[in-house]
């Protein structure tokens, strides 16, 4: 099964580039940028990963980003991820990045996007991994800050395909960002939002995503299974759901294998993704392997999940058919 998973050309639609920052790279960047770390060795960093819910993860995730300062740092971050993607036979990626997590630290938007864009070009040329970038707004920051971020990206619109919404979901509903997402749509961008598993008011968040924002995809979205009306709407609109099994195991102590099967049975377009692979210690293939090892997923199920990812990707239709 490992060979089967490895050999399949795959797409990944839910990976935070900042969530691919490996402990060894944290050390190398800290040294280059003259930053003191409270840890002595990369192993100590991993030992300190103690995630049991979304806030406990986010605290560590944002703290580590402080080592990312220069354009070259962002280039390396993305380039290292694309190299791993190539090694796992991932041929297409729609990665997220969190510009506000950098601009609040005084790193310019240009620095971030120029580093990432250059890595995307190199990945396409040298590795055969193509990608389209998704800008995520941080939902625990204000709607005004999101609007300012969108204004900052307007000169770079050709470099992103869509916008997303991530970070701490508690009391930060989709409705808070209705205006900025409407503006993003008017600029021709695709829309997606995190509806993280088992968050407070999650069914309201899912309904707002569908009825108010009219998203083009949903990140996570497992809780939709609790409401048949939501499931029907997701099926009817052909919306993709980007599920992250190993991430779910950390955040809600459940790989969500049963839920993924229920989604497939209902015709919901579930896809498998890694979310923050450096932190959850599992890239895309390891997420599929966990489903095989712990929930006995079959080759046919894996194939369906991989096909779904290409189907609900934001590739042009002609490019999709090459993979389907």
Kindly list the residues in this chain that would bind Zn ion in the complex (CB under 5 A): 275
For the CB of residue 273, give the shortest distance to ligand ADE in the complex, in Å: 10
Q: Nearer to ligand ADE by C-beta: 259 or 276?
A: 276
Among 73, 94, 196, 289, binds ligand ADE (CB under 6 A): 196
Contact 18, 65 (CB under 8 A): yes
Token duo for residue 156? 């770079």
**Binding of residue 16 to ligand ADE (CB under 6 A):** yes
Q: Whose Cβ is closer to ligand ADE: residue 73's or residue 275's?
A: 275
- Rg (alpha carbons) of the chain, rounded to whole number: 18
Q: Which is nearer to ligand ADE, 71 or 166 (by Cβ)?
A: 166
| Of 54 and 306, CB closest to ligand ADE | 54
CB of 47 to Zn ion, least distance (A): 23
CA distance 180 to 166: 14
Cβ 247 to Zn ion, closest distance in Å? 7
Q: Write the DSSP assignment of 44-93 as a string of letters.
A: HHHHT---SSHHHHHHHHHHHGGG--SHHHHHHHHHHHHHHHHHTTEEEE
Tell me how far apart the terminal alpha carbons of the chain are, to the nearest angstrom.
20
Among 19, 23, 162, 173, binds ligand ADE (CB under 6 A): 19
> Taking the CB of residue 111, how many other CB atoms lie within 10 A of it?
20
Helix axes 143-153, 178-186, angle to 10 degrees: 20
The partner in contact with residue 289, picked from ligand ADE, Zn ion, none with C-beta cut-offs of 5 to 8 angstroms by kind, is none
**CB-neighbour burial class of residue 322 (10 A; exposed 0-12, middle 13-18, buried 19+):** exposed
Of 8 and 136, which CB lies nearer to ligand ADE in the complex structure? 136
Among 111, 167, 192, 273, indicate the residue that binds ligand ADE (CB under 6 A). 167
> 1 or 203: whose CB is closer to ligand ADE?
203
- Residue placing its CB nearer to ligand ADE in the complex, 71 or 276: 276
Does 194 participate in binding ligand ADE (rule CB under 6 A)? yes
Distance of CA 282 to the CA centre of its chain: 14
Scanning the structure block, which residue is given the tokens 């300062």?
69
Q: Determine the Cα–Cα distance for residues 54 and 199; give it in Å rounded to an integer.
A: 9
Least separation in angstroms between CB 138 and ligand ADE? 8
- Closest approach, Cβ 33 to Zn ion, in A, equals 26
Residue 275 DSSP one-character state: B
Rounded Cα distance, 136 and 306, in Å: 24
Position closest to ligand ADE via CB: 166
Instruction: Find the shortest distance in angstroms from Cβ 149 to Zn ion.
Output: 18
Q: Which residues bind ligand ADE (CB under 6 A)?
A: 16, 19, 54, 61, 166-167, 194, 196, 247, 275-276
């Amino acid at each position: 099964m490992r060979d089967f998973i490895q050999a399949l050309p795959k797409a990944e639609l839910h990976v935070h580039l900042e969530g691919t920052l490996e402990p060894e790279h944290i050390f190398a960047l800290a040294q280059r940028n003259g930053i003191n770390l409270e840890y002595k060795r990369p192993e100590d960093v991993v030992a300190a990963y103690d995630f049991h819910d979304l806030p406990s993860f986010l605290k560590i995730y944002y703290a580590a980003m402080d080592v990312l300062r220069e354009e070259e740092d962002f280039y390396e971050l993305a380039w290292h991820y694309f190299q791993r993607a190539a090694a796992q036979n991932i041929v297409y990626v729609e990665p997220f990045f969190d510009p506000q997590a950098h601009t609040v630290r005084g790193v310019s938007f240009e620095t971030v996007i120029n580093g990432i864009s250059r890595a995307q070009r190199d990945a396409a040329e040298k590795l055969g991994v193509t990608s389209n970038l998704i800008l995520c707004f941080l939902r625990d920051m204000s709607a005004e800050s999101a609007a300012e971020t969108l204004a900052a990206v307007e000169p770079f619109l050709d470099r992103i395909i869509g916008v997303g919404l991530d970070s701490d979901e508690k009391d930060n509903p989709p409705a808070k960002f209705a205006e900025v997402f409407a503006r993003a749509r008017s600029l021709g961008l695709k829309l997606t939002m995190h509806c993280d598993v088992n968050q407070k008011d999650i069914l309201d968040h899912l309904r707002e995503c569908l009825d108010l924002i009219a998203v083009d995809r949903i990140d996570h979205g497992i809780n939709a299974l609790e409401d048949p009306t939501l499931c029907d709407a997701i099926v009817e609109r052909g919306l993709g759901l980007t599920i992250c099994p190993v991430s779910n195991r950390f955040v809600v102590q459940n790989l969500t294998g049963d839920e993924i099967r229920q989604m497939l049975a209902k015709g919901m377009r579930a896809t498998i993704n890694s979310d923050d692979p450096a932190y959850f210690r599992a890239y895309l293939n390891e997420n599929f392997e966990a489903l095989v090892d712990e929930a006995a997923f079959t080759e046919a199920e894996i194939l369906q999940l991989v096909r779904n990812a290409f189907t609900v990707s934001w590739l042009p239709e002609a490019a999709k058919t090459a993979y389907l």
